[in-house]
Amino acid sequence: LRAVDHLCFMLTENPGITVTLFHVAAKIGDYCEIDFNNYQGDIEKMMIEGGRRCVRDFYTHARRKFQEAGIPDDRINIKEVSPRMNVGKAILNEFNSGGYGTLVIGRRGIGRSFFMGSVSEYLVDRMKNCALWLVS
């Protein structure tokens, strides 16, 4: 959400902007906080449902921030792809094939590395001739 907040700050009231929120669906080992105490069922199903809830909550908060910045829903696209072994590669492929001008990403993922996570490092190393905003 920090990346969304920064994007909104930079592009407030820009009528020509279109935003694509691109999500690579999580694998079983990638999940948001899930309350294990209130669940009766198998762990895999619980993790998948928790991940979906997390992404849905993110989209709700992001849309609210975009609306507050004057970017209406009809200028926000959501794309999601199935789990990939290399999330950075999936993002790079979408960026290159989608004709985007700027990629906005956070600098760290779940691992909370000191400077950059593996996805942001992968993208910084491989993106060429484009704008890349790395938001911390």
Task: State the pTM of this model.
Answer: 0.77
Contact at 8 Å (CB) between 124 and 46? no
Q: Which amino acid appears at position 135 of this protein?
A: V
Per-residue confidence (pLDDT) for residue 14, from 0 to 100: 78
Q: Collapsing DSSP states into helix, strand and coil, what is residue 103? A: strand
Q: Is the pLDDT of residue 114 over 70?
A: no
Q: Above pLDDT 90, what percent of the chain?
A: 40
Per-residue confidence (pLDDT) for residue 33, from 0 to 100: 58
Contact at 8 Å (CB) between 87 and 24? yes
- Taking CB atoms within 8 Å and a gap of at least 24, the contacts of 30-34 are 30/110
Higher per-residue pLDDT: 109 or 38: 38
Q: Collapsing DSSP states into helix, strand and coil, what is residue 55? A: helix
Contact at 8 Å (CB) between 61 and 32? no
